[in-house]
Structure 1
Amino acid sequence: MADKPRKLPQEVFAPWEDPEAKPLIQFRNVTKRFGEFTAIDDLTLDIYEREFFALLGPSGCGKTTMMRMLAGFEAPTEGQILLDGQNIAPVPPNLRPVNMMFQSYALFPHLSIWDNIAFGLKRDKLPKDKIAARVEEMLRLTRLEKFARRKPHQISGGQRQRVALARSLAKAPKLLLLDEPLGALDRKLREDTQFELMDIQEKTGTTFVIVTHDQEEAMTVASRIAVMNHGKIVQVDTPARIYEAPANAYVADFIGDVNLIEGTATRTGEDRCSVRFAEAADPITAECTADLSDGIAVTYAIRPEKILVTADRPADRANALEGQIIDIGYLGNISTYHVELPGGQMIKAAMTNSTRLDRRDFTWDDRVWLSWRETAGVVLTE
C-alpha cells in the first residue's frame, strides 16, 4: 500500500517576530492633543501587512483618534505615521490607499446594492467593464449575488454590513479601517459575522485595523491586539498572550473574567514564589520571574476557569484554599461560584456543565475547596 501523503503543518503568521519583516504601518512617537487634552501620548507601534489588528480599550482611551489619523481626518500634533515607508501626514484622505468602514455603514438608500459597491469605482472613472468585473467579484466574496438589484432597506442588517464591507474593499485598499463595524448587529449575528470578516480578510490579504471595545470580538478576529488606556498602549500581543500572560493588572482585569488578589511575594526557588494575601489563608504557590524581589507587593491574577471546586481537598494540586459559597450563577454552559475565603477575599470559579440536567453538587453556604496548579495564575508587579 502506498504511503498517504503527509499533511504539512500550516504556516504560522507572525511577521512581528521576524526582525527582517517591514511594517506596513508605523506610528513613530505620535502625540495628538486637542487643546489641553492629550488623546494620544507619545505612541510608537508597528502593524504588518495582512494583519487583522485590533485597537481595544474603554471609551476615551484614544483608539478612535488613532484610526482617524490613519484615515486622514486628523493630523498628529507630534511624531510621524508611515504607510509603506511614506509619511502620510501631507496626503489628503481621498488620495490615501486607505478605506474606512463605519458602524452606521453609510450606504446610499436610493442606490441598489450593485451601485453602492460600484460607487467609488465610478468616481475613479474606471472603464465600465472593469467596474462590472470588480463589483461581481465583491458580490461573490461577500455572498451577495442574489441581492445585487435590491435597495439597502430590502436586506437585513447583517447583509447591509457585508455591502459596506464589499464597497470598502472594491478599490483594493492597502489598509481597511473598521470602526465598531458590528456594533449594530444582535449578538448571534455579530458572532457569525466575526468569522465572515476573518474569512474575507484572509482571502483578500488586505490589512484590517478594527476599533472595538468588545473584548470577545477582538479576541476572536485579531492576529494581535493593542490594549489602550489614557492615550497609551499598555500591551500589544496575540489574543492568547494577552489573556494568559497579561503585562499588568489593568490588562488582566480588562480582558475576560479574572480574580485579582493583592499580596506580598516571597521567593521560594529560581522561578517559584509564594504570595501571602491574608493571615487566615495559606499562601499561594506560583511561578514568578527571576528578578522578583522578596517582600514586593504584587497582584496575583487567576482566571475563574482555571479553578476546580471540590467538596474535599485534592491531593494533587499545589494550591488549595477552603471557603464558603456565597453566590451561584447558572449560565447554561458553565456554572459560576463566588466563594469567600478566610479573611474576606472573594474568589470566582467557573465549572463546565458537561452533562445535560447535571445535578448540582454544591449550594449556597456550602464549605468547598478551591484548587489550581501553580502554573495557572500570573504574578504581576504592575
Structure 2
Amino acid sequence: METLVNTQPVCKFAPWEDPTQEPLVRFENVTKKFGDFTAIEDLTLNIYEREFFALLGPSGCGKTTMMRMLAGFEYPTAGNIMLGQSNLQKAPPHKRPVNMMFQSYALFPHMTVEQNIGFGLKQEKTPKPEIRRRVEEMLSLVQLEPFAKRKPHQLSGGQKQRVALARSLAKKPKLLLLDEPLGALDRKLREQTQFELMNIQEQLGLTFVIVTHDQEEAMTVASRIAVMDHGKIVQVATPAEIYEYPNSRYSADFLGDVNIIEGHVDVTTGETASLHWAEGETPLAVSTKLRPQAGTTAWLAVRPEKLRISKDKPENTDNCVKGEVWDIGYTGNISTYHVKASNGTILKTQVSNREHLADRPITWEDTVYVYWEKGAGVFLET
C-alpha cells in the first residue's frame, strides 16, 4: 500500500514580518515620567495578535511600567497606546478588554475556587447560566475540576497559580498581562507551568504579554522578546535571534551566558574582521557583514557552547587560545570550564558530560587549547 506523505509546509507564525498585518498593541512614542524620573523614554513597539510577548530586563528597566500602562493603572506622559483601533490614553482599567494576572495571585481567601474564577463575571452582572458555563470551561482548561469547592488555603502554589490564570481568562480579554506570574513557584513546577501557559495561550488564540527578569522563562514561552534597559528597548526579536545574533553587548550579556572579548580591529577582509585583543596573542577572526575601520574598538561575543576545549593543539581552526583551566563548574549534564589566557582573560566553554565524572580527561590547572570557528561568534560595535 502506498504511504501518503503530507507535503504541506508548516506555517510559520511571524506576523511581525508581514507588512499587511496590523498590530494588536501599538506603543507610539510613549514617554512616562514620575516627577523628574523618566521611566519610559520615547518608546515605540508593536505587539501582534496571538503573540506570547515577553518584556525582559532587570529591575527598574521600565517593563512593569509598560504593563501598568497597558492595564490602565498608569497613563503615558506623552505618546499613545493603541489596542486595535482604540486609543487607551484615557480609558479606565475596567473599560479595557485587558486583564492582568499578578505574581501574588490576589485570590479571595473566603471564596471557593469556582467563586474566585467567576468573580469578575459576577461584577459585570453576567447572567448566572453563562457564569456557570464559563467557570466550568475555565476549570476544565486549567484541570481543576476536582478542586472547585476548595478555598485558596487548601491549594498548592501551582494550583493557586492556575486559579488566578482561570480567573484572568474567564472574561475573555483580548490581551492578558502576566506580571512575574511564576516567580513564587519552585524551579521544577515553574518549568512545568511554563509549558502549560504556552499550551493554554495557543489553545485559546489569545495575546499574552509577560513581564519577567528570568531569561530562561522568556526564551521558553515567548514568540518574541523585548530586551529593555533604562526605559528603552535595546532589541526586539525572537529568542533564537537574540541569543544567536545579539545587536549589542547588553543583549548578548543579558540573554544567556556569553564570552565578550574586547579588542581593536586590525583589518577587514571580505566578510571577516580581525580583532587584536591581547599582546602576544594571534588576532581573532570573526565573520561580519559590517565594514569596521582599522583601529576602532569592537567586541567579539561567543557563547560557551560554541567553544571547544582540548589538551592537544588543534589544526585548521580559525581561532585558538592557549590557557590554563582555572575553574570547573559541574551542573550534572554540563561542565563549564573557565580557562585563563596569558593576559588574564577568562574564557568559558561548556562540555556535555557524556562520561562519568571520574573519567574527566581535563581537570584543574591543565594546560589546554580553546578553539572555535570564525562564524561561531558575533561581531559587535556597541
User: For residues 36-82 of structure 1, what are the alpha-carbon distances to aligned partners after superposition, in whole Å with 9 as ceiling and x for unaligned?
Assistant: 00000000000000000000000000000000000000010000000
The alignment status of 1:61 with 2:61, answered yes or no, reads: yes
The answer to whether the 8 A contact 1:65-1:74 is kept is yes
Match of 2:40 in 1: 40
Q: Cα deviation per residue 1:334-360 (whole Å; 9 max; x = unaligned)?
A: 111111112111111111102344611
Work out the CA distance in 2 between the residues paired with 1:45 and 1:23.
9
Paired amino acid for 2:30: V
Q: Deviating runs (4+, > 4 A) in structure 1?
A: none
In structure 1, give the amino acid aligned to 2:216: E
In 1, are the aligned partners of 2:268 and 2:291 still within 8 Å (CA)? no
Name the CA shift for 1:125/1:216 in 2 (closer, same or farther; >3 Å).
same
1:263 aligns with 263
> Aligned letter for 2:72?
G
Displacement after TM superposition at 1:5 (Å): 3.2
Specify the alignment match of 2:170 in structure 1.
170
Answer yes or no: is 1:95 the counterpart of 2:95.
yes
User: What are the superposed Cα offsets for residues 145-198 of structure 1, whole Å, 9 maximum, x if unpaired?
Assistant: 111111111111001100000000000000000000000001111111000000
1:155-194 matches, within 5 Å, as 155-194=155-194
How many Å apart are 1:283 and its aligned residue? 1.1
Say if 1:98 and 1:174, in contact at 8 Å, map to a contact too. yes
Contact kept? 1:270, 1:290, Cα under 8 Å: no
Normalization by structure 1: what TM-score? 0.98
Distance in 1, matches of 2:153 and 2:8, equals: 46
Match of 1:135?
Answer: 135
1:191 and 1:7, CA in 2 relative to 1: closer, same or farther beyond 3 A? Answer: farther
Could you say which residue in structure 2 is the equivalent of 1:377? 377
Q: Does the 8 A contact of 2:178 with 2:210 survive in 1?
A: yes
Distance 2:316 2:255 in 1: 29
User: Where does residue 292 of structure 1 map in the other structure?
Assistant: 292
Residue 214 of structure 1 aligns with an amino acid whose one-letter code is: D
Q: d(CA) in 2 for partners of 1:149 and 1:106? A: 18
Matched residues, percent identical?
A: 62
Identify unmatched segments of 5+ residues in structure 2.
none
Contact 1:54/1:218 (<8 A) preserved: yes
Rounded Cα–Cα distance in structure 1 between residues aligned with 2:138 and 2:50: 18
Give the TM-score of the pair, scaled to structure 2: 0.98
CA distance in 2, matches of 1:212, 1:328: 30
Secondary structure of residue in 2 paired with 1:375:
helix
Amino acid at match of 1:237: A
Is 316-325 or 12-21 further displaced after alignment?
Answer: 316-325
Within 5 A, what are the aligned runs for 1:4-15?
4-6=4-6, 8-15=8-15
1:1-382 matched pairs, under 5 angstroms:
1-6=1-6, 8-357=8-357, 359-382=359-382
Residue deviations 1:96-135, cap 9 Å, x none? 0000000000001111101110111111111111111111
Q: How many residues align?
A: 382
Q: Distance in 1 between matches of 2:218 and 2:3?
A: 42
* 1:3, distance to aligned residue in structure 2 (A): 2.9
More off after superposition, 291-300 vs 182-191: 291-300
> Per-residue deviation at 1:2?
2.2
Displacement of 1:279: 1.1
